[in-house]
Amino acid sequence: MKQIKTQWAAAILLAVLALSLLATGIWGFAQRGQEQTQAALLKMRNYAVLRTAAGAIVNDLALNAKREARAYADANGYSRNQRSAYADEQEQLARKAAEEKYFGSTKSLDRTDLNLSIEALETALTGFTRLETQEKAAYAEVWREEQKAKAAKAAEQETASAEDGALSEDALVVSAEEKVDYSGFVPSAQLAALGETLTPAYDAMYDVLETSLPDLQPAMRAQLREPLIAVVKGGESDFQTEYDHYAKTGADTIYVGGERTRMFIARQATNLVVLAAGTLVIALTVFYYKPLKRSLGMPRLVISFFFLLLLVAAALYNINVPGMMSTVLWRTGMYGVLALAMLPGIQSGISLNMGMTVGIIAGLISTLVALEMNMTGWGAFLFSVIGGIILALPIGILYGKLLNRLQGSEMTVSTYVGFSFVSLFCIAWMLLPFKNPKLTWALGSGLRTMHNMSDSFGQLLDNFLSFTVLGVKVPTGLLMFFLLCCLLMWLFSRSRSGLAMNAAGANHRFAEAAGVNVNLMRIIGTTISTVIAAVGIIVYSQSFGFMQLYNGPKQMGFVAASAILIGGATVTRAKVSHVIIGTFLFQGVLALGIQVANAAIAEGGLSEVMRILISNGIILYALTQSGGESRG
């Protein structure tokens, strides 16, 4: 009883805190549209412009003081060390005095002529920036595709001799999101003409600045053009971005008292609402902890809570949450069918089918045949799927018979079989008689490690009926195909054969007593798992955009097993819902975790390291939960 009261008290306190944060955030949003808040933001803009211009004066005065100090030191016979120390001291003193003179004053912030000149430059910048953004976006898209192709080619050369021979999709995502090199960007004639209109507007603003800062030199006009225009560009953004843009120059220090508090809350309004949502979720989790634990199970509860926590952290770190949710949906569809391949194995009693790579090889072979014949579009996709199913059927039957002979050690045997099959085909890929130059090495014989799917049916499902809502791109065709596979598996589970297979997996002795051929059901389950794996790798490859051979498929079984276990399955019982929930949570935590970790660590560049740490950590956690009691 005491524990229940404590739980209720904690939940109520968290709920009150959430409502307080929500109310404050809503008030902050309301303040953004108030006239006094907009006037205060204009003061920030003016201060940012003045400080940027004054920075050139400060640097000039500090440099002159250093020169004079050196001349004085030389005239008075100072040693080299004395001369250097004296010059640095005088430079710092001059800089400090100039900063106090120019950076501390706010008397010019409400000048009408300064406001009008900055607004005139903003108006000229609006059209120029809009067109420049469009042209640079088009250039960036082409540049990223080129970088992605280069990264894939380089990775192919590296993985040809690497131990695992696999390229993570995260590596290509990172390479595609690199900072774009615009050195090759050439503006259109229209953009160049709009750029010319900026000169008179900038000169007019600079003339006003000279009246506010008499120490500005004519030579600084050209020097300050780029940094001043960069400051004024902040006026095109939303309140939060604009505030942050000006705050980088120290403009947020001009506020005092209540005005400072109001502007701070207005700036943090989004974060306050996000924190309120996160706190409310925590409150509900605390309040309904026992029923949630009973219905979801501890693994799903922990991972779900961690996923929500990452969403809140992503919003606080100004990570594009809609963009990340697009990635999560993409990865869910891409990996979903592969995770579904684990389901028939568990239901039939062979436990986690770590040997699903035998089916993956079948899917790869059928896809290679389609690429060999230069097939494209839906025809290539359907040919690969049907061909993969036909190849996977006899392989699955033989594989199921093997597991029947080794009952009791299926997980160990299946892992060994899967790894051995991948290793065997590392030799086969060098010997199979494919002749298409797009598939084979330029020198020597054999198939290349990676194959670009863009010329065949790359991202065919992803782009089919896709749409964007609230910034989230939904790969409709990809998700529909995944859900269709789940529906077919769900319908099969409720058929006579499906029920018999479930019974054989749940209690083989009882099933035998009821007249069920347990060995046949195990073969059926293994065969279906192998077939789904063949289809799954085709879906994965078209979504990824590249097909990986050699050691690429080796780790697929572990990722699929982790997803279904996180979804609530055990090694003895699983449902379709476990596949859907588990894949979404696993890929969501993986995608968001990498971005949040990189944002939290200033150095960045840890994408691949964090991918390995997070994915392996989740896999380890999932496997530790696999021996618990079965859950429905």
Q: Which span out of 239-243, 406-410, 478-482 was modeled with the highest average pLDDT?
A: 478-482
**The 3-state secondary structure of 28-79, one letter per residue:** HHHHHCCHHHHHHHHHHHHHHHHHHHHHHHHHHHHHHHHHHHHHHHHHCCCC
DSSP string for 307-366: HHHHHHHHHHTT--HHHHHHHHHHHHHHHHHHHHTHHHHHHHTS-S-TTTHHHHHHHHHH
pLDDT at 125: 82
The yes-or-no verdict on residue 525 having pLDDT over 60 is: yes
Query: Average of pLDDT values for 193-204?
Result: 84
Mean of the per-residue pLDDT values for the chain? Answer: 82
Highest mean pLDDT among 2-11, 24-33, 303-312, 349-358: 24-33
Residue 160 vs residue 188, higher pLDDT = 188
Q: Is the pLDDT of residue 23 over 60?
A: yes
Q: What is the pLDDT of residue 504?
A: 86
The set of long-range contacts for 167-172, using a CB threshold of 8 Å and a minimum separation of 24, is 167/450, 167/546, 167/548, 167/552, 168/608, 168/611, 169/331, 169/334, 169/544, 170/594, 170/607, 170/608, 170/611, 171/607, 171/608, 172/148, 172/544, 172/545, 172/546
Q: What is the pTM of this model?
A: 0.72
Does residue 154 surpass a pLDDT of 70?
no
What does the pLDDT read at residue 127?
81
Instruction: Answer yes or no: is pLDDT of 107 > 80.
Output: no
Question: What pLDDT is recorded for position 488?
Answer: 94
pLDDT over 90, % of the chain: 20
What is the 3-state composition of the chain as percent helix, strand, coil, each rounded to the nearest 5? 75, 0, 20
Query: What is the structure's pLDDT at 484?
Result: 95
pLDDT (0 to 100) of residue 605: 52
E strand or H helix at 149, and its extent? helix 112-159
How far is residue 417 from each of residues 355, 394, 478, 497, 565, measured CA to CA in Å? 6, 16, 30, 27, 21
pLDDT at 432 exceeding the cut of 50: yes
Average pLDDT over residues 516-528: 91
pLDDT > 70 in the chain, percent: 87
Token match 């939940």: residue? Answer: 11
DSSP readout, 396-412?
Answer: HHHHHHHHHHTTT-HHH
pLDDT at 603: 52
pLDDT at 187 over 60: yes
Structure-model confidence comparison of residues 26 and 194, the more confident one: 26
Residue 61 has pLDDT above 90, yes or no: no
pLDDT at 48 exceeding the cut of 60: yes
Q: CB atoms < 10 A from the CB of 299, how many? A: 24
The torsion angles phi and psi of 451, rounded to 5 degrees, stand at -135, 125
- Judge whether residue 174 has pLDDT over 50: no
With cut-offs at 50, 70 and 90, classify the pLDDT of residue 613.
low
Mean of the pLDDT values across residues 307-312?
Answer: 82
Whole-number pLDDT of residue 487 = 95
pLDDT category of residue 229 using cuts at 50, 70 and 90: confident
pLDDT of residue 176: 41
Lowest-pLDDT range of 125-134, 205-214, 227-236, 335-344: 227-236
**What average pLDDT score do residues 153-158 get?**
58
The least confident of 75-79, 170-174, 304-308, 366-370 is: 170-174
In this prediction, residues 302-311 reach a mean pLDDT of: 82
Identify which has the larger pLDDT, 151 or 468: 468
Question: What's the average model confidence in pLDDT over 393-402?
Answer: 92
| Stretch 231-260: mean pLDDT | 80
The average pLDDT across 386-410 equals 89
Model pLDDT, residue 629: 43
pLDDT score of 340: 94
Side-chain-side CA neighbours of 507 within 13 Å: the count stands at 7
- For residues 85-90, give the mean pLDDT: 88
Q: Given a cut of 90, is residue 303 above it in pLDDT?
A: no
* Residues 550-567 pLDDT 10s: 888 888 888 888 888 888
Domains recognised in the chain with CATH numbers: 112-244 (no CATH), 333-576 (1.10.3470)
Q: In this predicted structure, what is the pLDDT of residue 527?
A: 94
Residue 343 banded pLDDT, cuts 50, 70, 90:
very high
Check if the beta carbon of residue 367 is closer than 8 Å to that of residue 509. no
